Structure 1
Amino acid sequence: MFEDFGNAVAGALAYSAVGIALMVLGFFIVDWLTPGKLGELIWSERNRNAALLLASNTLGVGLIVVGAIWASEGNLAEGIVSTLVFGVIGLVAMAVAFIVLDLLTPGKLGDIVCSDETQPAVWVNSAMHLALGGVIAMALS
């Protein structure tokens, strides 16, 4: 019983560490794609567009981590490697989706994200992040 408990604790710690690292990487990617400092936009200027975009990125990464845990079927090493690989694929896909959407629509999406007024384009991009997280999570199974 305690061995299973110890393994579960080790797994939770390992997946949490990898998940946090991927979420931090996601933060830097969103920061790179948008003008200005993302942290200031969200926490100082209380910009809802930037917060929505980052939140959807974080949730997309979370879906991928959950998918990797599910697909690993208890094999911790395989699950951690899958989480890292598919997490990075997901973040790259989200960045590419941002860039493609920016090219296909009027205006600059990065500037729209920084706008003080709520922008529907940010909702569309956020939906893409969540959808990509789900697609990649399902690709793991």
Structure 2
Amino acid sequence: MAAEREGAVVAKGHEEGMKMAASLLEEFGLPLGLLPLGDVVEVGFARATGYMWIAQRRKVEHHFRMVGKHVSYDADITGYVKPRCIKKLKGVKAKELMLWPPVNEIAVDEPSTTGKIHFKSLAVAEPGFQSWVFPSKR
């Protein structure tokens, strides 16, 4: 894990961490409301590898009303950010029926096509939701 973080930019504290997380989402074409984070301790991003991490004081659960989706964000979230995609995601789960399968990837279609966002896991592949249903809290 140390090699993945080499040369990373790190933001400490809630305010700076939220700014950095929003900046990363925007830069990579992901909806700003995708990560409704709680009390952020640290956000880091290593541009060379695409590895990002978010540390919060505690787990956060959020209900996206527009799509009727419950999502759980662990205290530690990691993944590899690419344009319109977070791969090898760890620390995020989306409720399906009575189960909470982990979300392994989040991908956004090209705006020129459907513009839909997809949550992918080993258990379930979502049909996709319009990206505007993940508004920013700003």
User: TM-score, normalised to structure 1's length?
Assistant: 0.30
Greater percentage in strand: 2
Q: Which has the larger radius of gyration?
A: 1
Name the TM-score, length of structure 2 as normaliser: 0.30
Judging by fraction of residues, say which structure has more helix.
1
Q: Which has the higher contact order (CA 8 A, sep 6+)?
A: 1
